[in-house]
Chains A and B, each alone.
Chain A
Amino acid sequence: MKELVCIVCPNSCLLKIEEKDGEIIVKGAKCKKGAEFAKEELTAPKRSLSSTIKSVFACLPVVPVRTEGEVLKKDIAAVMKAINAAVIDKPYSVGEPIITNVAGTGTNVICTVEIKRYI
């Protein structure tokens, strides 16, 4: 039996995973997201990634961003590289994509502040 801590929400459920006749059985989750998380974590673990991108605006030297969806754990370094190479020079809105299909992951890097509020 394998144990995993679910990171989907702050409940941090302790998941107990058993394999029976080739099927993965997940126990200990308070909601159905736990089972989905466990199955993904065992096959292709994903994380959402937050960082900042430097900007040309003096009052906002860096702009907070995150991946819109989750990216494979193994792609995190490549996504960080793309984020570190970018520069923001226009007032993006909350949720607006800044880098589309970042590092070929199929997800976008989105802005998480309303830049025009601050410049």
Chain B
Amino acid sequence: MERTDVLVIGAGPSGLAASLEAAKKGAKVTILEREARAGGILKQCIHDGFGLIRFGERLSGCEYAERYLKEVTEQDNIEIKLQTFVCEIKRVLEGFLVSATSNSGMIRLLAKAIVLATGCRERTAKQVNIQGSRPQGVMTAGAAQHYVNLLGGLPFERCVILGSGDIGLIMARRLTLEGAKVLGVYEILPSPSGLTRNIHQCLIDFDIPLHLSHTVTRVFGEEKLNSVEVAQVDECFRPIKGTEQIIECDGLMLSVGLIPENEIAEQLGVEIDPATKGAFVNENMMTSVPGVFSAGNALHVHDLVDYVSECSAIAGSAAAEYNRQANKLLTLQKEGFLYIVPQRISLGKEKKVPLYFRAKKDMPKAHFTLTLNGQVILQKRLSNLKPPEMVKLEAQIPPLTQGDNLLAKLEEL
């Protein structure tokens, strides 16, 4: 049986960054990737805006992935196994026993530590309860992106977009450039869920209307979609009678949210935070199961790949240095956040910890404080906070002991 130090699941931006960092620490690294090409979702992200923080340049998603792929392939101690799908992971005395299917049949690996870099999945039509038949032409924005940017096809000519997530906005622009007509974006919430700049450069630039507090109530068509019904909604998201409108179209694209993929994590008994839908982690991105690390969009959905790489590098480095000593943790208390990661900090020596968070609601001006037993250790005034836009701050955390009260607070000014 093959043995490895760090087993990384997924060769997307998270897995590549984690592997690279683990390899630099001298670990033998094995990456398992289910697809035929490494790069994850970045393969189909042909648009630019990636890497501003990481490289100080505006790269396309593809270029961002290439930078990491180049470095990863130059490392002798990283092996990428493509078209390999993890079936089961068991905890054993020496670490983790992994079973996977591959082109050469079933393989088994024994790993000392595991990094879960499985990314996230898009919410589907069934998860947002769209009524009607199941015609062809209803797909997620990511699926449409795959058709257009990887296969070179055009899945529809006239389409309606439900949800104002970033991938939907990016695809609205992309489909328009490829000659399709995007009839409108319908968002059930009273405010857009994508980045403000995407509303401007993807919708306003191309005169694509955005209808807030609206949703798609029904789809029509037997084999192929021929129209959808849209309606305005009230504050409880119930369609308002009399506002229904039928729109003829051959495509309905969904951009209604992303959910961290944690099937393997759950199999391993990793504790999941209901706020992030990813694992509870400490400042090293280690989950509640010792030796199992989680990073990237599997941990919480990021809006920028730069931060995916950053937290994954922390995970990879810690996985390489992981030894089976019990590590005691303190829970970070929070007020005013949608969530904050890491949720737990280990006791002992002083450390620098990046904090990634989202505000609970829109806050034009806010005050962030981090206190330890009532003493302020970090404070910052922040402006323009919105739940769809993640914020990162770095905290210097003094040595912690059991019973300390570490509290992060976000107050609107």
| Genuine A/B complex | yes
**A10/B49 contact (C-beta < 8 A), A5-B200, A66-B60, A112-B66 known:** yes
| Contact status A62-B152, CB under 8 Å | yes
- Contact status of A52 and B149, CB under 8 A, knowing A12-B195, A80-B177, A112-B63: yes
Task: Kindly supply a per-residue 1/0 record for chain A positions 8-20, scoring 1 wherever the CB is within 8 Å of any chain B CB and 0 otherwise.
Answer: 0111111000000
Q: Within 8 Å of chain B (Cβ to Cβ): is A7?
A: yes
Known: A52-B46, A112-B66. A118 touches B37 (CB 8 A): yes
Contact of B47 with A by CB under 8 A? yes
B304 at the interface (CB under 8 A from A): yes
Question: Which A residues lie at the B interface, using CB under 8 A?
Answer: 5-7, 9-14, 47-52, 54, 61-62, 64-66, 73, 76, 80, 94-95, 112-114, 117-118
Interface presence of B384 (CB below 8 A): yes
CB of B72, distance to nearest CB on chain A (Å): 11
Q: Is the CB of A5 within 8 A of B196?
A: yes
Tell me if A50 and B60 are in contact (CB < 8 A).
yes
**A62-B66 contact in complex given A50-B60, A112-B46, C-beta closer than 8 Å:** no
Q: Is B69 an interface residue (CB 8 A)?
A: yes
Residues of chain B at interface, number, CB under 8 A: 32
Which of B46, B195, B201 sits near A64, CB closer than 8 Å?
B46
Q: Bound complex: CA of A13 vs CA of B383, how far in Å? A: 10
Is B35 part of the contact surface with A, judged by Cβ < 8 Å? no
* Whole-angstrom distance between the Cβ of B410 and the nearest chain A Cβ: 18
* B303 neighbours in A (Cβ, 8 Å): 10
Among B59, B152, B205, B304, the residue within 8 A (CB) of A10 is B304
Hey, what's the 0/1 contact readout for B140-155 against A, CB within 8 Å counting as 1? 0000000011111000
**1/0 per position for B190-225, CB-CB distance to A under 8 A?**
000001110111000100000000000000000000
A66 x B48 contact (CB < 8 A): yes
- B residues whose Cβ falls under 8 Å from a Cβ of A: 37, 46-49, 52, 58-60, 62-63, 66, 69-70, 148-152, 177-178, 195-197, 199-201, 205, 303-304, 384, 389
Give CA–CA (A11, B389) in the complex, Å. Answer: 8
Taking a contact as CB atoms closer than 8 A, the residue among B47, B151, B196 that contacts A61 in the complex is B151
Residues of B within 8 A of A11 (CB): 384
In the bound assembly, the distance between CA atoms of A118 and B59 in angstroms comes to 20
Selected A-B contacts with CB under 8 Å, 16 pairs: A5-B196, A5-B199, A7-B201, A10-B49, A10-B304, A12-B195, A12-B384, A50-B47, A52-B148, A62-B152, A64-B62, A64-B149, A76-B177, A95-B63, A113-B66, A114-B69
**Interface pairs A-B: 8 shortest CB-CB:** A12-B196, A62-B152, A64-B46, A7-B197, A12-B197, A112-B62, A112-B60, A64-B62
Total A-B pairs in contact (CB under 8 Å)?
A: 81
Asked, given contacts A10-B303, A50-B47, whether A62 binds B151 with beta carbons under 8 Å apart, the answer is yes
> Which one of B46, B66, B195, B200 lies within 8 Å of A50 (CB-CB)?
B46
> Is A62's CB under 8 angstroms from B52's CB?
no
Report A54 CB to chain B, min CB distance, Å: 6
How distant is the Cα of A114 from the Cα of B70 in the complex, in angstroms? 9
A94/B177 in contact, CB under 8 A: no
Do residues B384 and A62 form an inter-chain contact, with CB atoms below 8 A? no
CA distance in complex: A90, B178 (Å):
24
CB atoms of B63 and A51 under 8 A apart: no
Q: How far is the CA of A7 from the CA of B69 in the complex (A)?
A: 28
A49 to B69 Cα, complex, angstroms: 24
**6 further contact pairs, Cβ within 8 A, besides A47-B205, A113-B66:** A5-B197, A13-B384, A51-B46, A51-B177, A61-B150, A64-B62
A13 cross-chain contacts in B, Cβ below 8 A = 384
Q: A10-B195, A10-B389 are in contact. Are A64 and B66 (CB under 8 A)?
A: no
Q: How far is the CA of A48 from the CA of B66 in the complex (A)?
A: 20
Asked whether A52 lies within 8 Å of B152 as measured between CB atoms, the reply is: yes
Min distance, Cβ B225 to any Cβ of chain A, angstroms = 25
* Bound CA–CA A47/B176 (angstroms): 15
Tell me, rounded to whole Å, the shortest Cβ–Cβ distance linking A12 to chain B: 4
Given A52-B46, A112-B46, A61–B200 Cβ distance below 8 Å? Answer: no
Q: Complex: how many Å from CA A33 to CA B201?
A: 17
